[in-house]
């Protein structure tokens, strides 16, 4: 009775956890199962990979949307990583005007619901007369990616002491050399995880993109959205499975890459 | 948070002004132009007159705010509040024991992966998975028909229940993760001490564990409540007309009714609720983590606990 509760004995929390995992994974398992179903809809009629064949060989619009997504994700992540990293270096190690302002500004987009950012950007773009296109999608993605890169790099920099920068300066390094030879190398894990987080968030985003996209600028989530509106589609089942595998693979390799860097 | 003067060797910082301003300029400029300015425009628009085909006319008015108060919109606001509170409550009640179990387990990495894989899956795919299960031609209806339990498809989707279910599904990991990481830092010997002194298991958890992980609970609350309060895609895809939420109303006013001031005013209400929530969180967290007065007080408070626990 009075023995400390061990994990095996805490049967209530264990039951809830197992139930939760089933709840979380079951829908995804159903998608996997149905992606191999031969019939287009209704019950199980037999195993088939024809939806995967259709996905890879006969879905030009889907791949165009994927191309748009890839361009926006890599482009916005690259810009957000450069700007966000510099911002984090400034906030962590230097004193300048508007330091508190920048900290608040990088915090706010992360807490506001996505729809607010989407709506305000749409109103803004129309106000300044910028036509909605893949470019406006790119601008929006940089805005919501930047704070994440900033925070991840900042978290990495906070592990280091300012004396690193001081030592570089004492040894005669210029500001540029200090940045390129000292600060950036030690921030690499933060920069890499910031960049990959930005790519993932960008590929993932539906709500903000929905508001700021224009004709011809369909991204993959927008394509999935329009497909869902027409009901269940086996090609989308197959696409889901590919995307789940892709994310798991990407995350797994990121972790290993970061471990590799940390071990160096 | 991290004042330069606080860190070791920080005294030297005073001399290092350059090139901080230069490094900070692009981020400051970008977020000012593409985040803050759009928000400011929304504030301004909410006090203006709607233009004929979207946009605004520069005649100041409070019409948008009057419109929010009318019964149609009040109904949507009420529905949004009910769904947000309900879904958040269900999420937290499930997430707490999950976080507890994960923190006490010896295979944390594995359990973390099990929670994270659904979390990493694309947001729309997760919604779509539920349409594939609950739809009229979905998995569940197939199953029910195959078992001969029903003849015609049961309509599971397009109601408030479906919206709540999918919202809970979507945001559960957002609640589990902060709870897990907070409970993981908790000193479980305190629970044992409470039990040795006679507290019941539940009593020890409610009186000793929960007060000590208050910060995690608040974080989990906001991580779920804020996005649910501003939900758009979930009610759009699995909801019906009666489960409309404020997010859908904004989109409709923006793209269909073309009343931009009203869309702006509703956006501001959501922004305000969010900001107040976060400020409350920061205050509460500041009180319980800075110097730990709240945490220590409740840990000390464990001593008189047994009397209460034993009396029950």
Residues of B in contact with A162 (CB under 8 A): 4, 7-10, 12-13
pLDDT tens column, B194-253: 988 988 888 888 888 999 898 899 889 988 999 999 999 999 999 988 889 999 999 999
B128: domain CATH number is: 1.10.3720.10
The pLDDT tens digits of the residues spanning B133-156 come to 998 888 888 888 888 888 888 889
8 Å CB contact of B36 and A244: no
Q: Look at residue B135 and tell me if it is in a domain.
A: yes
A156 with A240, same domain: the answer is yes
Residue B19 covered by a domain:
no
Beta bridge mates, A6 = none
Q: Are A38 and A53 in contact (CB under 8 A)?
A: no
Cα B73 to Cα A72: distance, rounded to the nearest angstrom: 36
- Domain extent at residue A225: 52-263
Average pLDDT over residues A140-146: 97
**Residue A180 confidence (pLDDT) above 60:** yes
d(CA A158, CA B7): 10
Looking at the DSSP assignment, which residues form a beta bridge with residue B52?
B54
Torsion of CA B112, B117, B122, B125, to 10 degrees: -130
Going by the DSSP 8-state scheme, the letter that residue B7 receives in this structure is S
Q: Does the residue A1 lie in any domain?
A: no
Predicted pLDDT of residue B59: 87
Let me know: does A237 contact A31? Beta carbons within 8 Å. Answer: yes
User: Structurally, how many domains does chain B consist of?
Assistant: 1
Domain span at residue B131 reads 70-284
Domain contains B278 = yes
CB atoms closer than 10 angstroms to residue A87: 28
Q: Who has greater pLDDT, A164 or A142?
A: A142
pLDDT in tens, A117-127: 999 999 999 98
Q: Which residues of A touch B126 (CB under 8 A)?
A: 27-28
Query: How many CB atoms are closer than 10 A to CB A61?
Result: 11
Using pLDDT thresholds of 50, 70 and 90, give the confidence band for residue A145. Answer: very high
Q: Indicate whether A152 belongs to any domain.
A: yes
Q: Which helix (H) or strand (E) holds B56?
A: strand B56-57
pLDDT value at B308 more than 80: no
Looking at residue A41, what DSSP letter applies?
S
Band (B14; pLDDT cuts 50, 70, 90): very low
B86 neighbors B286 (Cβ within 8 angstroms): no
Q: Rounded to whole angstroms, how far apart are CA atoms A5 and B103? A: 13
**Percent of chain A whose pLDDT exceeds 70:** 95
CA B32, A101, B269 angle in degrees (round to 5)?
65
User: What percentage of chain B carries pLDDT values higher than 70?
Assistant: 86
Choice between B212 and A9, residue whose per-residue pLDDT is larger? B212
Pairing type for strands B56-57 and B49-50 reads antiparallel
Mean pLDDT, chain B, integer: 83
* Spatial distance between the Cα atoms of A131 and A125, rounded to a whole number of angstroms: 7
pLDDT of A58-110, one tens digit each? 999 999 999 999 999 999 999 999 999 999 999 998 888 889 999 999 988 88
Is some CB atom of chain A closer than 8 A to the CB atom of B160?
Answer: no
Q: Is the pLDDT of residue B9 over 50?
A: no
pLDDT score of B79 more than 90: yes
Contacts of A24 in chain B (CB under 8 A): 114-115, 118, 169, 172-173
- Cross-chain CB nearest to A248 (options B37, B117, B270): B117
Statement to judge: residues A15 and A141 lie in one domain:
no
Q: Residue B12 in contact with residue A166, Cβ under 8 Å?
A: yes
Mean pLDDT (whole number) for B14-23? 73
Q: Is the domain of A23 the same as that of A101? A: no
A217 three-class SS = coil
Q: Is the torsion defined by CA of B70, B72, B73, B77 positive or negative?
A: positive
Is B245 part of a structural domain of the chain?
A: yes
CATH of the domain at A119: 1.10.3720.10
> A150 and A105 in contact (C-beta within 8 Å)?
no
What pLDDT, on the 0 to 100 scale, is given for residue A257?
Answer: 80
Same domain, residue pair A162 and A77: yes
Residues 248-307, chain B, touching A (beta carbon < 8 A) = 250-251, 254, 260, 263-264, 267, 270-271, 274-275, 278
- Averaged confidence pLDDT in chain A: 89
Is residue A151 located within the same domain as residue A20?
no
Residue B309 confidence (pLDDT): 29
> Mind spelling out the 3-state secondary structure of A79-146?
HHHHHHHHHHHHHHHCCCCCHHHHHHHHHHHHHCCHHHHHHHHHHHHHHCCCCCCHHHHHHHHHHHHH
The pTM assigned to this predicted structure is 0.86
Average pLDDT over residues A37-41: 81
> Rounded CA gap, A258 and A182, in Å?
19
> Based on the domain organization, do A30 and A96 belong to the same domain?
no
Condensed to tens digits (0 to 9), the pLDDT of residues A224-244 reads: 999 888 777 789 989 999 988
Quick check: B295 pLDDT over 50?
no
Residue B4 lies in a domain: no
Considering only CB atoms, which chain B residues are within 8 Å of A224? 122, 124-125, 128
Judge whether B306 lies within some domain: no
Q: What is the pLDDT of residues B83-136, one digit of tens each?
A: 999 999 999 999 999 999 999 998 988 999 889 888 888 889 999 999 989 988
Over the stretch B114-125, which tens digit does the pLDDT of each residue have?
Answer: 898 888 888 899
Answer yes or no: do A25 and A136 share one domain.
no
Q: Which of A170, A197, A184 is nearest to A77 (CA)?
A: A197
pLDDT tens track for B254-289: 988 889 999 999 999 999 988 888 888 778 776 544
Question: Has residue A174 been placed in a domain?
Answer: yes
A21 and A151 belong to one structural domain? no
Which of A97, A103, A120 is facing B42, going by the closest CB pair?
A: A120
B258: phi > 0 → left, psi -120 to 50 → alpha, else beta; which? Answer: left
Chain B partners within 8 Å of A9 (Cβ): none
By the 8 A CB rule, do B277 and B222 touch? Answer: yes
A214 and A131 in contact (C-beta within 8 Å)? yes
ipTM: 0.90
Is there a single domain that holds both residue A15 and residue A114?
no
Tell me if B105 and A236 make a contact (CB, 8 A cut-off): no
Lowest average pLDDT, out of A22-31, A153-162, B48-57, B210-219, goes to B48-57
> Is residue B42 situated within a structural domain?
no
Residue at B53 is within a domain: no
Q: Do B23 and A94 touch (CB under 8 A)?
A: yes
Closest alpha carbon within chain B to A32: B129
Burial class (CB in 10 A: 0-12, 13-18, 19+), A26: middle
Nearest to A94 by CA among B137, B19, B214: B19
Report if residue A168 sits inside a domain: yes
Residue A239 shares a structural domain with residue A177: yes
Yes or no: say if B13 and B19 are a contact pair by the CB < 8 Å rule: no
Phi, psi of B300 (to 5 degrees): -65, -35
């Amino acid at each position: 009775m009075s023995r400390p509760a061990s994990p095996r004995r805490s049967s209530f929390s264990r039951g809830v956890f197992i139930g939760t995992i089933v709840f979380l994974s079951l829908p995804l398992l159903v998608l996997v199962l149905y992606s191999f179903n031969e019939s287009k809809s209704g019950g199980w009629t037999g195993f088939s990979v024809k939806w995967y064949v259709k996905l890879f060989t006969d879905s030009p619009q889907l791949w165009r949307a994927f191309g748009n997504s890839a361009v926006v994700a890599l482009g916005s992540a690259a810009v957000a990583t450069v700007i966000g990293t510099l911002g984090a270096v400034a906030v962590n190690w230097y004193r300048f005007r508007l330091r508190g302002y920048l900290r608040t500004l990088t915090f706010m987009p992360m807490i506001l619901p996505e729809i607010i950012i989407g709506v305000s950007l749409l109103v803004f773009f129309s106000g300044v007369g910028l036509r909605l296109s893949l470019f406006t999608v790119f601008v929006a993605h940089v805005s919501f990616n930047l704070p994440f890169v900033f925070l991840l790099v900042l978290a990495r920099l906070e592990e280091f002491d300012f004396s690193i920068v001081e030592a570089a300066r004492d040894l005669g390094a210029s500001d540029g050399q200090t940045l390129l030879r000292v600060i950036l190398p030690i921030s690499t894990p933060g920069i890499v995880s910031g960049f990959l987080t930005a790519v993932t968030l960008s590929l993932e985003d539906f709500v903000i993109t929905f508001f700021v996209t224009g004709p011809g600028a369909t991204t993959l989530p927008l394509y999935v959205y329009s497909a869902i509106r027409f009901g269940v589609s086996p090609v989308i089942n197959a696409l889901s499975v590919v995307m789940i595998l892709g994310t798991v693979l990407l995350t797994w390799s990121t972790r290993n890459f970061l471990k590799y860097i940390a071990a160096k | 948070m991290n004042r330069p003067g606080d860190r070791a060797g920080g005294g030297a910082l005073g001399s290092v002004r350059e090139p901080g301003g230069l490094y900070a300029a692009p981020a400051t400029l970008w977020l000012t132009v593409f985040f803050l300015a759009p928000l400011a425009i929304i504030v301004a628009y909410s006090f203006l007159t709607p233009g004929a085909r979207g946009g605004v006319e520069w005649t100041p008015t409070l019409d948008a705010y009057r419109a929010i108060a009318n019964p149609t919109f009040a109904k949507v606001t009420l529905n949004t509040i009910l769904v947000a509170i309900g879904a958040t409550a269900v999420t937290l009640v499930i997430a707490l024991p999950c976080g507890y179990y994960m923190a006490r387990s010896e295979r944390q990495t594995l359990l973390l992966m099990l929670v994270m894989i659904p979390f990493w899956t694309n947001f729309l795919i997760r919604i779509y998975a539920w349409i594939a299960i609950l739809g009229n031609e979905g998995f569940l209806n197939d199953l029910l028909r195959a078992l001969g339990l029903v003849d015609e498809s049961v309509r599971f989707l397009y109601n408030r229940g479906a919206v709540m279910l999918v919202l809970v599904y979507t945001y559960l990991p957002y609640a589990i993760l902060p709870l897990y990481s907070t409970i993981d830092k908790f000193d479980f010997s305190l629970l044992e001490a409470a039990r040795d002194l006679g507290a019941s298991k539940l009593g020890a958890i409610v009186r000793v564990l929960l007060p000590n992980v208050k910060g995690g609970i608040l974080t989990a609350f906001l991580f779920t409540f804020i996005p649910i309060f501003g939900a758009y895609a979930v009610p759009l895809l699995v909801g019906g007309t009666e489960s409309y939420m404020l997010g859908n109303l904004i989109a409709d006013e923006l793209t269909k009714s073309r009343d931009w001031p009203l869309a702006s005013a509703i956006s501001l209400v959501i922004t305000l609720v969010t900001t107040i929530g976060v400020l409350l969180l920061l205050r509460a967290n500041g009180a319980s983590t800075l110097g730990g007065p709240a945490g220590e007080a409740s840990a000390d408070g464990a001593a008189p606990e047994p009397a209460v626990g034993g009396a029950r």
